Structure formats: C-alpha cells, structure tokens
C-alpha cells in the first residue's frame, strides 16, 4: 500500500549489495587489510562493511583513514556507518563531527546517522544544527537525533516535520525519530497532525503508528475509515493492518462493504488480524471475485485465517494459472504481484490443512513471468489426490 515501493526496493538492493561476500566465514585481518586498499570500488566497499564488529586496532585505523581520505564519497559514507558502531576510541567522534560539517552531501548524511548511533552527547548540538541544512539532508539529522534519543530534540524535530513535510526525507525519517525520543508524546503528536499532513507524509506516519500499538490510535483509525478523502482512508487501513487487532474486525468488514474499491487492503488487514469472524464474509467474497488483485488478497487472507471451511472455495483455484503482473517497472514488486493464482491457492490450502505455512509467500513472486516454484506442480497433484479422498 505504501507509495514509495521504489525506495523500499532500492534499500533492499543496497542491503543485498552490502552483505559481505566471505563464504560464510569471518575474513582474516590480513585479507581485510589488503581489500581495504584495493583499487576496486566493490572490493573496498565490501571490506569496509565487513570491519563492523571487528576488534583489531589495525582495521579501525584503516577505516578511520578511509573515512577521511578515500577518493570515493560513497566509501567514505560506508566508513562513517561503521565508525558509528565503534565505542571507546577518542578519534571517532571528532572525525564524524568533521564529516557532518565539511563533507559532501552523501557522507554528511551518513555522518549524521552515525553520530546518532554513536551515542555521544556532544552530537546533540551538531544534529540540532543539522536540522537547518538543505532539503534532503535535514531528514538525516532528524534520524540521528532519534537514534541519539535525547528528549531535547523532540520539539525541534516536531517543528521540522510540520514546516518541511514537503521534504520526503523529513517525512520519512522524522516520525520514527520522534517516537525514539519521546514515544507517548510522539504518538499524541502524530495522531493530532495525521490528517493535516500532506498525503506522502501521512503514509510515512501510518507506518510508524502501525509499528507502535496504541488503543487511541486504533480507535482513531477506525473513525478515519469514514473519511471522504481516500488519501486519508488508505493510510488508516494500513495502520489497522499493521496493528493486527481483532477489535477492528467489525469496522474493517463494514468498510469492506461500504468501499468496494478499497477491498484489497482491507482484506489484507483482515487476514493479518486472524479473526474467525472474517472467514464467512471473505469466503463469500472469493466465490464472486473477478478482480485479480483482490482475489489474491482473499486467498492470502483465508490462508492466514486458517479455517478449514475455506478449503472448498480454494480447491478450484489450484487449476487457475492466471498471472498478476505488476503494473509498472520502477522496481521489482513482491507478493501478490508477479505471482499466479494456483500458487497462492496451494499456499493457502496447505497452510490451512497443515496448520503452518509450507513456504514463504514471497517465493511465489517471480519477475516478470511469475514462474511458480518447482514444488507447486507436485503440491497441486498431492492436493488433488488428498481432495479426492475426502
């Protein structure tokens, strides 16, 4: 439901690229020192990241040098990330402070976050000053303040969010930073301004509110389901989906009937809550559902609900090989996109029948052709045999 699918994909890709390639074993100090001086960017980058958590002084010495002098700004930024995890070395804070003041944009943002992780109280003034930097950078200063956890940063970050919610980095990072500094106050603040914030910021706030269960939040989101503004209703559905609270089942079922164009996210929320009251309405909906996205969400939800009465409506779908392709190619989307109906039906039936998921739903998504995992054909045959003996 979140609009920044591309951003999430980029983050995932960066995490994959950042994973040290070392055959599952810790690399030797000699190997790392050699790699840290390698002229190849990727070799050097992976080596920098692999130093995190290591205790050898020679490795720290080299990363400190890289953070200040490496010719590639990205590598200097990765080095700052690693330095943010180092405790007890007097050289680390001054260098990160210098990077936050003098470096290029990329390493500066890494330095802001690293200063927050480092936890040195001297970072507070640097990060507060960072809130006044240019668009795209001040959000990282807010994130750093959140990681630092000093309550004195709460009001400045709150003002930043209200005044610069148009900055996507502020909208994305400030809400969680507020929760890290003063959680009760942050939840009150985010609820208060939820509707007034621009739609992209509202989506970011929804993710934060959904991660921090609170009864007042739940009640408010139920009430917002009745809003005339779809850009308010959809984030509210997301919050309820993340809260996974059975108390919201009646409100979600009512919205399912009231706003049929939003039934896909509502069905997802009902499945996550695992409330048996949703089984009969969702089974009835699946019998007549023609929209493919909604059908996939219904299959998923019934699998999660785990009620055996749903198997009857799911069985015919093991012959339906229709693909749900993603509508655009700005990033690679996960389930239910790039998956086929029969694979989802197999997952749901086996989940209900065995009481546990047979495999992760994400295994069903395969860009671009949606080719199902090899096991699906055997599962279909086994389900047919099992169903024939019922």
The closest alpha carbon to 201, from 162, 245, 241, 229, belongs to 162
In this prediction, residue 22 has a pLDDT band, given cuts at 50, 70 and 90, of: very low
pLDDT at 200 over 50: yes
Q: So what's the pLDDT on residue 389?
A: 65
pLDDT tens sequence across 246-263: 999 999 999 999 999 999
In a shared domain, residues 25 and 114: yes
What's the predicted TM-score (pTM) here? 0.86
Domain extent at residue 177? 121-208
Backbone angles phi, psi at 147, to 5 degrees: -65, -35
pLDDT tens sequence across 141-158: 999 999 999 999 999 999
SS3 state of residue 323 = strand
In a shared domain, residues 196 and 129: yes
* Residue where a domain stops, chosen among 208, 231, 258: 208
Query: Can the peptide bond before residue 368 be classed as cis, meaning omega within 30 degrees of 0?
Result: yes
Q: How many CA atoms lie within 13 A of 358 on its CB side?
A: 22
In this prediction, residue 25 has a pLDDT band, given cuts at 50, 70 and 90, of: low
**Window from 6-15, 24-33, 207-216, 300-309 with minimum mean pLDDT:** 6-15
- The dihedral through the CA atoms of 281, 286, 287, 293 has a sign that is positive
Report the domain count for the chain: 2
For residue 356, is it within any domain?
no
Q: So what's the pLDDT on residue 20?
A: 42
Average pLDDT score over residue span 206-212: 98
SS3 state of residue 245 = coil
pLDDT at 23 over 50: no
The CATH number linked to 37 is 1.25.10.10
* Residue where a domain stops, chosen among 173, 208, 243: 208
* Residue where a domain stops, chosen among 182, 208, 234: 208
In a shared domain, residues 153 and 56: no
For residue 327, is it within any domain?
no
For residue 258, is it within any domain?
no
- Residue 24 DSSP label: T
């Amino acid at each position: 439901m979140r609009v920044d699918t591309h951003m999430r994909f980029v983050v995932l890709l960066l995490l994959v690229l950042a994973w040290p390639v070392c055959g599952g074993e810790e690399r030797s100090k000699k190997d790392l020192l050699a790699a840290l001086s390698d002229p190849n960017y990727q070799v050097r980058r992976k080596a920098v990241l692999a130093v995190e958590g290591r205790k050898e002084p020679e490795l720290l010495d080299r990363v400190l040098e890289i953070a200040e002098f490496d010719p590639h700004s990205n590598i200097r930024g990765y080095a700052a990330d690693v330095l943010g995890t180092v405790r007890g070395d007097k050289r680390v804070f001054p260098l990160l402070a210098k990077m936050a003041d003098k470096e290029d944009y990329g390493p500066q943002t890494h330095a802001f976050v690293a200063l927050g992780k480092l936890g040195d109280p001297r970072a507070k003034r640097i990060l507060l000053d960072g809130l006044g930097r240019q668009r795209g950078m001040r959000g990282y200063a807010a994130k750093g303040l959140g990681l630092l956890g000093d309550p004195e940063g709460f009001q400045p970050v709150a003002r930043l969010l209200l005044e610069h919610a148009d900055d996507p980095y502020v909208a994305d990072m400030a809400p969680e930073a507020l929760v890290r500094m003063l959680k009760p106050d942050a939840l009150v603040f985010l609820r208060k301004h939820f509707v007034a914030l621009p739609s992209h910021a509202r989506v970011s706030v929804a993710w934060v509110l959904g991660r921090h269960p609170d009864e007042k939040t739940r009640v408010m989101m139920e009430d917002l389901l009745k809003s005339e503004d779809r850009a308010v209703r959809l984030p509210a559905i997301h919050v309820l989906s993340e809260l996974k609270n059975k108390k919201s089942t009646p409100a979600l079922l009512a919205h399912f009937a009231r706003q049929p164009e939003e039934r896909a996210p509502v069905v997802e929320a009902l499945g996550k809550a695992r409330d048996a009251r949703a089984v009969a309405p969702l089974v009835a909906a699946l019998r007549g559902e023609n929209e493919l996205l909604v059908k996939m969400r219904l299959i998923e939800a019934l699998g999660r609900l785990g009620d055996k009465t749903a198997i009857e409506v799911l069985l015919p779908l093991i012959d339906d090989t229709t693909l749900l392709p993603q509508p655009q190619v700005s990033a690679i989307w996960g389930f239910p996109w790039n998956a086929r109906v029969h694979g989802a039906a197999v997952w749901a039936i086996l989940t209900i029948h065995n009481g546990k998921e047979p495999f992760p739903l994400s295994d069903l998504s395969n860009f671009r052709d949606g080719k199902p995992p090899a096991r699906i054909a055997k599962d279909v045959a086994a389900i047919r045999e099992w169903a024939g003996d019922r």
